[in-house]
Amino acid sequence: MQRKASGLLSGLVCLALAVSCDSKAVFDEYKAVPSKWHKDSVASFNFKAPDTTQNYNLYVNLRNTNDYKFSNLFLIVELNYPNGKAIKDTLEYKMAAPNGELLGTGFSDIKENKLWLRGFKDTFKFNEAGDYTVNIQHAMRNNGEVNGVEELEGITDIGFRVEQAQ
């Protein structure tokens, strides 16, 4: 009986540690991608501004499989403020090491990537209370081609995350 109680206790401790490690997340949401991410498909995330006096880090989160064949990823990310102001960036992220091995965390064929959007140099402050929207779209092209990749393979989920800065 004592063994069962200590096993239950250690399980609860592990669960509490796992939950407490993610306590700085203010917003964290994923959208599933159908079999391929179409170039015109936009993942939108709507959220209320957290405390406007605090500092935050903003991330784009991606899950990808070995079917992702590029070493980088170009995204168009738009941050829409409550007053109608919008900031749109084209961002490039490294997705593979020089030897072709995909970056990210995970033990299976699915890798998770936590990519900086805002906060890596200076922390981000939500200077307006209200509803924000983040739109994420891929902007991949094959080398030497003008037209973008119509359907991007290997991305399974697109996410957006807001964390309280340390």
Q: What is the pLDDT of residues 23-54, one digit of tens each?
A: 789 999 999 999 999 999 999 999 999 999 99
Q: How far apart are CA 111 and CA 62, in angstroms?
A: 8
Looking at residues 76-91, what average pLDDT do you find? 97
- What mean pLDDT value characterizes the chain? 88
- The answer to whether the CB of 156 falls within 8 A of the CB of 32 is yes
* pLDDT for residue 119: 86
Residue 1 lies in a domain: no
* pLDDT for residue 2: 43
pLDDT digits (tens, 9 = 90+) for 92-129: 999 999 999 999 999 888 999 999 999 888 889 999 99
Domain that holds residue 135: 26-164
Residue 41 lies in a domain: yes
What DSSP string runs through 20-68? HHTTTEEEEEEEE--SEEETT--EEEEEE---TTS-EEEEEEEEE-TT-
Burial bucket for residue 44 (CB in 10 Å: 0-12, 13-18, 19+): middle
Global pTM reads 0.83
Looking at residues 140-166, what average pLDDT do you find? 94
Residue 4 lies in a domain: no
Confidence of residue 14 (pLDDT cuts 50, 70, 90): very low
Residue 80 lies in a domain: yes
The domain spanning residue 54 has which CATH number? 2.60.120
Q: What is the tally of structural domains in the chain?
A: 1
Confidence of residue 16 (pLDDT cuts 50, 70, 90): very low
Residue 17 lies in a domain: no
* pLDDT for residue 19: 43
Residue 76 lies in a domain: yes
**Is 74's pLDDT higher than 70?**
yes
Residue 46 lies in a domain: yes
Residue 6 lies in a domain: no
